[in-house]
Chain A
Amino acid sequence: MTDASLATSGAPARKGKSLVVPDARTKRRNAAETRFKAYGVAAIGAGIFFLVVLLSAILINGVGAFQQTFIQVPVYLDPAKLDKSGNRDPEEMKKVSTFGYSPLIQDALFAEVQAQGVDTPLDSAKAMKEMISASAAAQVRDVVLADPDLVGETVDFQILASSRVDGYLKGRVQRADVARDKNINVEHLDLTDALREKGIVARRFNMDFITGADASESRAEQAGLGVSILGSLFMMLVVLLLSLPIGVAASIYLEEFAKKNRFTDIIEVNISNLAAVPSIVFGILGLAVFIQFMHLPQSAPLVGGLVLTLMTLPTIIISTRASLASVPPSIRSAALGVGASKMQSVFHHVLPLAMPGILTGTILGLAQALGETAPLLLIGMVGYIATNYPDGVASGFLDPNSAMPAQIYEWAKRADPAYYERAWGGIIILLVFLMVMNIIAILLRRRFERRW
């Protein structure tokens, strides 16, 4: 409006040029303004683009791990091979190792292929070996030992297909690559296609990936994350039990009792510096102090928990202090005014009011600890194959185990590409855990947050 009125009056200094029509300099400045704003939008766009790429890479690569290829096959449990004495004594049947079971399964698959009338150049049971996971024999053996009376009958089994067959169905193993692969031939892939049409080979949801144990390098199809989830759980218990009381006690001292002196300053500087020390240095500390010096067992969740406690303590102390500081001084004065001691005013009034904030900070600290990998590498949680479930609470803390991020790292390092898929899948599980923890923290904050 002002522009318009100015223009009509015809400013003499501008010699006939209208103010409505921007001159070259204004154009330049406006263009610079637009450009600058565009840089900002582009930067945010780039950040979100990276996030989307990262998350979609995880999803696209990882979802496959939750599905696994199974072969449905009726296995004749031959008494002549499994129970030579014929008295169904489990103790005696234990002497038959998995090597005794493998031929039975191969025969069964061969018979099934013949019965279905599938045309294949594979003309013996032995040639079917590459189709079947090496874990199938153990699976059948476990069922037989649990119920010896099954011997002599024909039982339907859902056995795992080998990781190559699985990879073929998921598109990871290409026909062109198979020529160089000594673990599978093109004939096997043809047979897989044929059996898939008959419904004998099928992909199903694989619960064992979430609950199962890790497997050796050659059995990618069998590996699961369950044992390392337990390892992480025990570590988080240690972190929670130690870092919450210690962190709260330290924060109460620093926020409520500490006098402004040299000692307090040193502690504060220490805490802020510890929060920025690279996590691998905490791993070195754990290795030198807990393992080299105190001779605690290697790879144990207890040691991992101790290291992660030291690492998360600064985070927890910083957030706890913030929530203690947000409790208004009038609460303290009121408590002191009715005769409470300083200690009583803090423990009976300030601490309960600060509790939601403290818990939120603790959960976020735990989430950070759950995803941390580097210190665990140094205390021996890598290279250890977590195949056994802990048998009890003490064993859970003290026996060697892995942890979720360490297990993912371990899989990422293995040579077989089938393990990459499992590493991505493991990341999905890890991120789900982290997401749940963060959502709990946000809900806690929303539910209990108080504005004074």
Chain B
Amino acid sequence: MPTLWLVLIVVALGGIGFVLGRGRALASAGGDNRKLHSLPSYYGSNVAMKTIMPAMGVLVLWLIVQPFFVDATVSKLLPDAAQSEDTTLGLVMSDVRRVADGLDFAVAEGLLSPDEAQALDASSDNVRETLGAAGVALGSDVSAEVLNAAQRYRVLSATGRLFMSALVLVAALGGCAWGVKNSHMDYRARNVVEAGIEALLVTAASLAILTTFGIVLSLIFNTIEFFQRYPASEFFFSLVWSPSFGGGSELGLLPLLWGTLYISVIALLVAVPIGLFAAIYLSEYAGPKVRGVAKPLLEVLAGIPTIVYGLFALLTVGPLLMSVFGREGLGWMQAGTAVMTAGLVMGIMLIPFVSSLSDDIINAVPQAMRDGSYGLGATQSETIRQVVLPAALPGIVGAILLAASRAIGETMIVVLGAGAAARLSMNPFDAMTTVTAKIVSQLTGDADFSSPEALVAFALGMSLFVITLGLNVFALYIVRKYREQYE
């Protein structure tokens, strides 16, 4: 692992720099550290920082840029002939990469000498078999162009790595020398080191922005690619969802959205009354003892992973509903996986979510309002219904919206409990499917995204992201606006 070695060398250089810088600063003060501007270790850290930070920056930047550069150069080598009708440049490039990696691997394993790997010829040698012996499986025989490109790819990558190592070492040594030269008793080492640390802290905090960017970019690029292969109007307005990987599939969003909303509504019908009444009871009626037991117990429901709820829906609730509403019972239900199954279980999952949010909000209503109501002769329930709840209403609506966004984005329960067929039906005992379930089924374990059937998952993800983000922003807006009212 040459990159790992490079990192270790740079870190070792930093360590040496620390000792050198500290020593030099102390020496400049004649060994009396009272004459130094900063504590001695700051002089050491200053050198170590100047050694490591620029070098690592160069390393990371190079590692990100190099693949682009190599890909661009190599793909120019591939003649148009290599891109026949059923393959694309991306597929050919992934072949090239696989062959190049395979050759590198074979050399590393000692199956081929570096010269032999260089001299391979697609027409005389069987590259596929050679690589197969090294444990690298290829899907098809290697053509001369691909092998040629792969060789070029290896050469470019190797020289790139060489340059990178040289540059990183130069940066580390240069930084080290610069830092050591600066290490003098009057140098403000602490201020420099602290500025460096603050830069690291800012970088860490910016990661949140970077993540959002990553999400938005990865969704947008693939969504655009999807819309180039599949008309956007069909996606948004078609009433049929029937993907077939052979082509001619119809990918309409509406049936999935219908299933998602139907399940979410059922989940909220279960969770909101139970959660809300539980919150009212806990905050208004229950004594500290009951509260101390019941609240944590309800919150256990929130700590249980969703896969558990999924299994519960599939293996317990589904069969239970079947025995009542299925063929032997009322005959409304065809199979255990249905909107009702997923909705009920998701409702159970959301109970603590609704109850703990509403609990906070009800507790935030000032006691004076309750006292005023009691003073007028209202009973406790009248106070709650006519004074506390109206005051808390915006907050509760916010909590319900947050719960709705949870329900819409929930995956495991619907994957296991809701069924796989996309249909527009009013019967809650029919199997339906959701946006999240279809993202999973269209994308699971598939690495080549070139067909609209795989790419549609990104468009679905984009829709999901926009809907949940909108709900969250709206909910937080309501909650925040409400909070300011009583502060």
Interface, chain A (partner B; CB < 8 A): 29-30, 32-33, 35-37, 39-44, 46-48, 50-51, 53-54, 57-58, 61, 245-247, 249-250, 252-254, 257-258, 266-267, 270-274, 276-282, 284-285, 287-289, 291-293, 295, 298-299, 310, 313-314, 317, 341-343, 367, 370-374, 377-378, 380, 382-384, 405, 408-409, 412, 420, 423-424, 427, 430-431, 434, 438
Q: Check B311 against A44 for contact (C-beta < 8 Å).
A: no
Identify 16 residue pairs between A and B in the complex whose beta-carbon atoms are under 8 Å apart, listed by A's number.
Answer: A47-B301, A271-B208, A273-B212, A273-B473, A285-B218, A289-B214, A341-B194, A373-B307, A374-B436, A377-B411, A378-B439, A382-B445, A384-B445, A412-B314, A424-B311, A427-B311
Closest to B1 in A: A394
Give the segment of B103-111, B128-136, B270-278 that binds chain A. Answer: B270-278
Interface, chain B (partner A; CB < 8 A): 67, 97, 190, 194, 197-198, 200-209, 211-212, 214-215, 218-219, 221-222, 273-278, 280-282, 284-285, 294, 297-298, 300-301, 303-312, 314-316, 348, 351-352, 355, 379-382, 384-385, 402, 405-406, 408-412, 415-416, 436, 439-440, 443-445, 447, 449, 457-458, 461, 464-465, 468-469, 472-473, 476
Q: Of A33, A272, A289, A374, which is in contact with the most chain B CB atoms at under 10 Å from its CB?
A: A374
Q: Check B402 against A276 for contact (C-beta < 8 Å).
A: yes
In the complex the two chains form, what is the Cα distance from A295 to B277 in whole Å?
50
Q: Check A278 against B408 for contact (C-beta < 8 Å).
A: yes
Q: Of B204, B219, B307, which is in contact with the most chain A CB atoms at under 10 Å from its CB?
A: B307
Question: Given B208, B303, B416, which contacts A267 in the complex, CB threshold below 8 Å?
Answer: B208
Chain A nearest CB: distance from B215 CB in Å?
5
> Given contacts A46-B274, A273-B469, A310-B211, are A281 and B461 in contact (CB under 8 A)?
yes
Q: Which residues of B contact A41 (CB under 8 A)?
A: 281
> Given contacts A51-B301, A250-B207, A423-B311, are A284 and B472 in contact (CB under 8 A)?
no
Q: Which residues of A contact B206 (CB under 8 A)?
A: 267
Q: Which residues of B contact A276 (CB under 8 A)?
A: 402, 405-406, 468, 472
| Consensus secondary structure, chain A interface | helix
Q: Check B444 against A383 for contact (C-beta < 8 Å).
A: yes
Question: Given B194, B281, B412, which contacts A44 in the complex, CB threshold below 8 Å?
Answer: B281
Q: Which residues of A contact B214 (CB under 8 A)?
A: 285, 289, 310
Q: Check A40 against B440 for contact (C-beta < 8 Å).
A: no
Q: Which residues of B contact A341 (CB under 8 A)?
A: 190, 194
Q: Check B458 against A284 for contact (C-beta < 8 Å).
A: yes
In the complex the two chains form, what is the Cα distance from A295 to B97 in whole Å?
10
Q: Check A253 against B202 for contact (C-beta < 8 Å).
A: yes
Q: Check A47 against B215 for contact (C-beta < 8 Å).
A: no
Q: Which residues of B contact A291 (CB under 8 A)?
A: 447
Q: Check B218 against A313 for contact (C-beta < 8 Å).
A: no
In the complex the two chains form, what is the Cα distance from A257 to B205 in whole Å?
11
Closest to B408 in A: A278
Q: Check A50 against B351 for contact (C-beta < 8 Å).
A: yes
Q: Check B204 against A257 for contact (C-beta < 8 Å).
A: no
In the complex the two chains form, what is the Cα distance from A254 to B449 in whole Å?
39
Question: Given B285, B305, B443, B472, which contacts A378 in the complex, CB threshold below 8 Å?
Answer: B443
Beyond A313-B207, A380-B444, 11 additional contacts (C-beta under 8 Å) are A42-B277, A46-B274, A249-B201, A249-B204, A250-B204, A274-B211, A280-B436, A284-B215, A299-B445, A373-B306, A424-B315
Q: Which residues of B contact A254 (CB under 8 A)?
A: 205
In the complex the two chains form, what is the Cα distance from A292 to B476 in whole Å?
34
Q: Which residues of A contact B208 (CB under 8 A)?
A: 250, 267, 270-271, 274, 313-314, 317
In the complex the two chains form, what is the Cα distance from A277 to B275 in whole Å?
22
Closest to B445 in A: A380
Closest to B351 in A: A47
Q: Check B281 against A40 for contact (C-beta < 8 Å).
A: yes
Closest to A421 in B: B315
Closest to B448 in A: A292
Closest to A287 in B: B443
Q: Of B203, B308, B409, which is in contact with the most chain A CB atoms at under 10 Å from its CB?
A: B308
Q: Check B298 against A61 for contact (C-beta < 8 Å).
A: no
In the complex the two chains form, what is the Cα distance from A287 to B206 in whole Å?
22
Q: Check B204 against A253 for contact (C-beta < 8 Å).
A: yes
> Given contacts A54-B304, A313-B211, A378-B443, are A44 and B411 in contact (CB under 8 A)?
no
Q: Which residues of B contact A35 (CB under 8 A)?
A: 381
Chain A nearest CB: distance from B277 CB in Å?
3
Q: Which residues of A contact B305 (CB under 8 A)?
A: 370-373, 405, 430, 434
Closest to A375 in B: B411
Chain A nearest CB: distance from B321 CB in Å?
14
Closest to A264 in B: B205
Q: Which residues of A contact B457 (CB under 8 A)?
A: 284
Closest to A367 in B: B303
Q: Which residues of B contact A272 (CB under 8 A)?
A: 476
Q: Check A40 against B278 for contact (C-beta < 8 Å).
A: yes
Q: Which residues of A contact B355 (CB under 8 A)?
A: 47
Question: Given A30, A278, A408, A427, which contacts B464 in the complex, CB threshold below 8 Å?
Answer: A278
In the complex the two chains form, what is the Cα distance from A258 to B204 in whole Å?
13
> Given contacts A36-B381, A48-B297, are A281 and B205 in contact (CB under 8 A)?
no
In the complex the two chains form, what is the Cα distance from A259 to B87 in whole Å?
53
Question: Given A53, A281, A383, which contacts B445 in the complex, CB threshold below 8 Å?
Answer: A383
Q: Check A33 against B381 for contact (C-beta < 8 Å).
A: yes
Closest to A299 in B: B445
Q: Check B381 against A48 for contact (C-beta < 8 Å).
A: no
Q: Which residues of B contact A295 (CB under 8 A)?
A: 67, 97
Q: Which residues of A contact B436 (CB under 8 A)?
A: 278, 280, 374
Q: Check B447 against A298 for contact (C-beta < 8 Å).
A: yes
